Amino acid sequence: MVTIIGLLVISLISTLSSEAFYCDFEKSCEDFVFDSHWMVQKVSSHIDHTYQNLSGHYITYTNTSVSQPLTIIRSQSIELGPNETICITHWMWSIKDGAVDFDINYAQGDDLQSQSPGAHIGFPLSDSDWSGGTIGIPYILSDHFYLLLKFNSMTSPLDIDDLSLSICPSSQSRPPTTIVFDCDFDKTLCPELKSLSNYSYTWSTIEAQQAQNYTSTAPSIDYSIGNKTGHYIWLNNLDSLQFGGVGNLQTPIFRFKQSDPGFCLNFQYYGFGASVQLNKLAVFALSEENEMSVQQVWPVNPINYIYTNNRWSWAFAPLLLGNFSLLFHMDSQYEVGGSFAIDSISIRSCDYSSKWFSPTSRLKFTCDFDSSSDPSCGIQNDYTDLSPQSVINTTIQSPNTISDLELGPRQASGWSGSRFFYWSRSDNTSTNLTTGYFKTPLIETNRDMCIRFSYFLNSTDVQPNQKNTKIDIAANGCAVSTVWSNELDDSFGWQLVQQRLPNCASTESIYFRITQKRPTRVAVAFDDISIAQCGTDVLTTTTPSSSTTDVNKSSSNYINIILLITILLLILNMHFEYYN
Ligand X SMILES: *[C@@H]1O[C@H](CO)[C@@H](O)[C@H](O)[C@H]1NC(C)=O
Among residues 3 and 426, whose Cβ is nearest to ligand X?
426
198 interacts with ligand X by CB under 6 A: yes
**Which span sits near ligand X by CB under 6 A: 345-353, 367-375, 386-394, 436-444?**
386-394
458 interacts with ligand X by CB under 6 A: yes
What backbone torsions phi and psi does residue 212 show, to the nearest 5 degrees? -60, -30
Q: What is the 3-state secondary structure (H, E, C) of 6-58?
A: CCCEECCCCCCCEEEEEECCCCCCCCEEECCCEEECCCCCCCCCCCCCCCCCC
139 interacts with ligand X by CB under 6 A: no
How many residues bind ligand X (CB under 6 A)? The answer is 47
Q: Does residue 577 sit in helix, strand or coil?
A: helix
Question: Which residues, numbered 66-125, are part of the site for ligand X (CB under 6 A)?
Answer: 66, 68-69, 83
Annotate 493-504 with b (16+ C-beta within 10 A) or e (fewer). bbbebeeebbbb
Closest C-alpha among 197, 77, 134 to residue 448: 197
Max CA pair span of the chain: 111
> How near is the Cβ of 423 to ligand X at its closest, in Å?
11
Closest C-alpha among 30, 25, 28 to residue 50: 25
C-beta of residue 340 within 8 angstroms of C-beta of residue 268: no
Measure the CA–CA gap between 446 and 125, rounded to whole angstroms.
59
C-beta of residue 436 within 8 angstroms of C-beta of residue 394: yes
Among residues 11 and 155, whose Cβ is nearest to ligand X?
155
- Given 426, 554, 555, 573, the residue binding ligand X (CB under 6 A): 426
C-beta of residue 26 within 8 angstroms of C-beta of residue 50: yes
566 interacts with ligand X by CB under 6 A: no
Measure the CA–CA gap between 51 and 44, rounded to whole angstroms.
12
> How near is the Cβ of 286 to ligand X at its closest, in Å?
13
Neighbours of 40 (CB within 10 A): 17
398 interacts with ligand X by CB under 6 A: no
Question: Which residues, numbered 173-192, are part of the site for ligand X (CB under 6 A)?
Answer: 173
- Given 45, 76, 310, 403, the residue binding ligand X (CB under 6 A): 403
Measure the CA–CA gap between 471 and 455, rounded to whole angstroms.
10
Among residues 198 and 541, whose Cβ is nearest to ligand X?
198
Among residues 51 and 334, whose Cβ is nearest to ligand X?
51
389 interacts with ligand X by CB under 6 A: yes
- Given 3, 76, 197, 358, the residue binding ligand X (CB under 6 A): 197
**Could you give the string, one character per residue 435-454, with x where binding to ligand X holds by CB under 6 A and - elsewhere?**
--------------------
Among residues 154 and 377, whose Cβ is nearest to ligand X?
154
- Given 216, 229, 301, 566, the residue binding ligand X (CB under 6 A): 229
Closest C-alpha among 148, 160, 128, 122 to residue 24: 160
- Given 41, 62, 63, 482, the residue binding ligand X (CB under 6 A): 63
Closest residue to ligand X, based on beta-carbon distance: 535
How far apart, in Å, are the Cα atoms of 158 and each of 54, 60, 77, 151, 491? 17, 6, 25, 11, 77
- Given 204, 209, 275, 308, the residue binding ligand X (CB under 6 A): 209
- Given 5, 40, 154, 496, the residue binding ligand X (CB under 6 A): 154
> How near is the Cβ of 295 to ligand X at its closest, in Å?
13
**Which span sits near ligand X by CB under 6 A: 3-11, 223-231, 241-249, 501-509?**
223-231
Closest C-alpha among 439, 423, 448, 528 to residue 475: 439
- Given 275, 360, 536, 541, the residue binding ligand X (CB under 6 A): 536
Nearest 10 degrees: Cα torsion 554, 559, 564, 567:
180
- Given 430, 485, 554, 560, the residue binding ligand X (CB under 6 A): 430
Among residues 135 and 523, whose Cβ is nearest to ligand X?
523
**Could you give the string, one character per residue 313-352, with x where binding to ligand X holds by CB under 6 A and - elsewhere?**
---------xx-----------------------------
Question: Which residues, numbered 495-514, are part of the site for ligand X (CB under 6 A)?
Answer: none
- Given 46, 96, 255, 355, the residue binding ligand X (CB under 6 A): 255
> How near is the Cβ of 378 to ligand X at its closest, in Å?
16
- Given 30, 97, 385, 406, the residue binding ligand X (CB under 6 A): 406
17 interacts with ligand X by CB under 6 A: no
Contacts of 168 by beta carbon, 8 Å cutoff, 6+ apart = 13, 16, 17, 18, 84, 85, 86, 87, 136
C-beta of residue 449 within 8 angstroms of C-beta of residue 501: yes
C-beta of residue 397 within 8 angstroms of C-beta of residue 419: yes
Closest C-alpha among 480, 455, 453, 296 to residue 384: 480
392 interacts with ligand X by CB under 6 A: yes
**CA angle, residues 504, 508, 512, in degrees to nearest 5:** 100
227 interacts with ligand X by CB under 6 A: yes
**Contact positions vs ligand X (CB under 6 A):** 37, 51, 53-56, 63, 66, 68-69, 83, 154, 173, 197-198, 209-210, 213, 225, 227, 229, 255, 289, 322-323, 381, 388-389, 391-393, 403-404, 406-407, 426, 428, 430, 432-433, 458, 460, 492-493, 535-536, 552
